[in-house]
Amino acid sequence: MSYDLMLIGQPSLDVNTDHLGVTVREIGGAVVYSAYAAAALGHSVLALGKCNPAEIDLPAVFARAKGVTLAPCAAASSTSISNTYHTADKERRTCRVISRIPAYTPADLPEDAAEIYHIAGLMRGDVEESVIEAAAKRGAVAVDVQGFLRCGRADGSMEFEDWPRKRALLPLIRFLKTDAAEAEILTGTTDRRRAAAMLHDWGAQEIMITHNTEVLLFDGAAYTTEPLRPRNLSGRTGRGDTCFASYITERLGQGIPAALRTAAALVSRKMEQPGPFLGTRADVEEYIRAFYV
């Protein structure tokens, strides 16, 4: 089979505590938010969700997603992360590792083909760097850099560190996603445009940097930005994953400006409701007419 998007990343048993002390347990992870967003736009998705099936019911997690095919990677353990949010807008949080999956390796890649291979691990060590190299021989590679910067410690703490092999691996990446803080770790600058230019100079082709006010895209020729216009932030979790997956799959048939506007509108609407995006392309087009034209 051939798919628009192959997602290489695990679901996570998240224990989320908001700034008021209210705790909710839910299934999260980049693979969940990314798959729902891309499929909602009509793109075919193959999700390689690695977990312990006794702990996470993968078919149930994706039951509401239309256009997502599962290629489960059974493992002895699942990823579980606690997130404590310190502000109402969920921009500041403390994360702790409860448990982890064994790493994805090139052997986990199925024979199915894909236009884009999206590396969507949650911490360094979730996906071996050799998977990037293997995927680059098969199609376009998209990387959420969080999975190579966020380091889980033995005591459960998490810290962000620079990516030691970034200069070697960035030339293999067509689509690179960071947020503003991660871009600073990678480049040493708080200027998002300068950071995007540096990452492009180092080899990545299209760099997305998300911020709480806008999403920026640089392809070496032009900077393109779109504002985020949610009417509330109840669904803030999964913002970057939703935006990135929407953009990269729309690029299969759209130019950068149109793809970025669709991604910004979709994620803005998603941020108004907790959980993955459950709308349709028609809903996104309506949102664009209401808030982006």
- CATH number, position 174: 3.40.1190.20
Host domain of residue 189? 2-291
For residue 64, give both structure tokens. 């509401």
Query: Could you tell me if 58 and 11 are in contact, meaning their C-beta atoms sit under 8 angstroms apart?
Result: yes
- In whole angstroms, what is the distance from residue 102 CA to residue 183 CA? 27
**Nearest to residue 183, comparing CAs of 158, 204, 154?**
204
Helix, strand, coil in percent for the chain, rounding step 5: 30, 30, 40
Give the count of domains, the chain.
1
Give the residues across from 196 on adjacent strands: none
Q: pLDDT tens per residue, the chain (293 residues)?
A: 899 999 999 999 988 888 898 998 889 999 999 999 999 999 999 999 999 999 999 999 999 998 999 998 999 999 999 988 888 877 778 889 999 999 999 999 999 999 999 999 999 999 999 999 999 999 999 999 999 999 999 899 999 999 999 999 999 999 999 999 999 999 999 999 999 999 999 999 999 999 989 999 999 999 999 999 999 988 888 999 999 999 999 999 999 999 999 999 999 999 999 999 999 999 999 999 999 98
> Which helix (DSSP H) or strand (DSSP E) does residue 157 occupy?
none
**Nearest to residue 23, comparing CAs of 107, 84, 101?**
84
**Nearest to residue 240, comparing CAs of 11, 29, 10?**
29
User: To 10 degrees, the CA torsion angle through 191, 171, 45, 29?
Assistant: -50
